[in-house]
Amino acid sequence: MSYPDISIDICPEFNSFDLRNSRYLSTDRPWLKLYGIRLPPVSPFSSLSSRPDPALIHQCLPDELLIEIFGRMSPYTLGRAACVCRKWKYTARNPTLWRNACLKTWQRDGMEANYKMVQSLYDSSWRKMWVQRPRIRIDGLYVSRNTYIHTGITEWQFKKTVNVVCYYRYLRFFPSGKFLYKISPQKVKDVVKCMHLRASKGDSVFKGDYILSGDGQIEMALLYPGHRYTLVRMRLRVRGTTIGANNRLDVLKILTTGVNGTELGNWKGNILELVEGWEEDETHDPDVPAVSHSRGLTPFVFVPFEEADTSVLNLPVEKMDYFVPG
CB 192 within 8 A of CB 308: yes
- Report the pLDDT value the prediction gives residue 57, as an integer from 0 to 100: 67
What average pLDDT is seen over the chain? 80
Distances from the Cα of 190 to the Cα of 43, 95, 145, 205, angstroms:
53, 38, 15, 13
The whole-number pLDDT of residue 223 equals 86
Sign (positive or negative) of CA dihedral 301, 302, 307, 308: positive
Q: If you ran DSSP here, which 8-state letter would residue 177 be given?
A: S
Q: pLDDT tens digits, residue range 316-326? A: 877 776 666 76
- Collapsing DSSP states into helix, strand and coil, what is residue 232? strand
Instruction: Give the residue among 236, 233, 235, 234 at the shortest CA–CA distance from 284.
Output: 233
Res 147: pLDDT? 84
Percent of the chain with pLDDT over 90: 15
Mean pLDDT across 222-243: 86
**Residue 115: which H helix or E strand, with range?**
helix 111-121
Which residue in 307, 300, 302, 282 sits closest to 292, CA to CA?
282
177: left (phi over 0), alpha (psi -120 to 50) or beta: left
Residues 289-297: what's their mean pLDDT?
84
The set of residues, in sequence order, having a beta carbon less than 8 Å from that of 86 and lying 6+ positions away, is none
d(CA 116, CA 124): 9
CB 212 within 8 A of CB 228: no
| Dist. CA 309–CA 158, nearest whole Å | 42
- DSSP class of residue 40? P
* Amino acid, single-letter form, for residue 104: K
- Find the mean pLDDT for residues 240-260: 88
pLDDT, tens digit, for every residue of 118-153?
898 888 899 999 988 898 998 899 999 888 887 766
Average pLDDT on 171-189 reads 91
Please report the pLDDT score of residue 154 as a whole number. 64
The pLDDT assigned to 170 comes to 94
C-alpha closest to that of 322 among 179, 145, 184? 145
pLDDT at 192 over 80: yes
Cα(221)–Cα(238) distance, integer angstroms: 17
State residue 144's pLDDT score.
92
Alpha-carbon distance of 181 to 251, in angstroms, equals 14
Q: CA end-to-end span of the chain, whole Å? A: 105
Which amino acid appears at position 290 of this protein? A
The continuous run of DSSP H or E covering 254 comes out as: strand 248-258
Distance, in Å, from the CA atom of 251 to the CA atom of 287, rounded to the nearest integer, reads: 27
The Cα 81–Cα 75 span in angstroms is 10
> pLDDT class for 25, splitting at 50, 70, 90?
low
Q: Is 295 exposed, middle or buried (0-12, 13-18, 19+ CB in 10 A)?
A: exposed
What pLDDT was estimated at residue 45? 43
Q: Is 105 helix (H, G, I), strand (E, B) or coil?
A: helix
* pLDDT at 106 (0 to 100): 85
Spatial CB neighbours of 73, under 8 Å, sequence gap ≥ 6? 81
pLDDT tens readout for residues 69-112: 888 888 888 888 888 878 888 888 888 899 988 888 888 888 88
Distance from the Cα of residue 195 to its chain's centroid: 20
Give residue 294's identity as a one-letter amino acid code. Answer: S
What does the pLDDT read at residue 214? 82
Instruction: Report residue 249's pLDDT band, with 50, 70 and 90 as the boundaries.
Output: very high
pLDDT digits (tens, 9 = 90+) for 31-59: 677 677 766 655 554 444 455 544 456 66
Question: What's the pLDDT at 47?
Answer: 45
Strand partners, 235: 219, 253
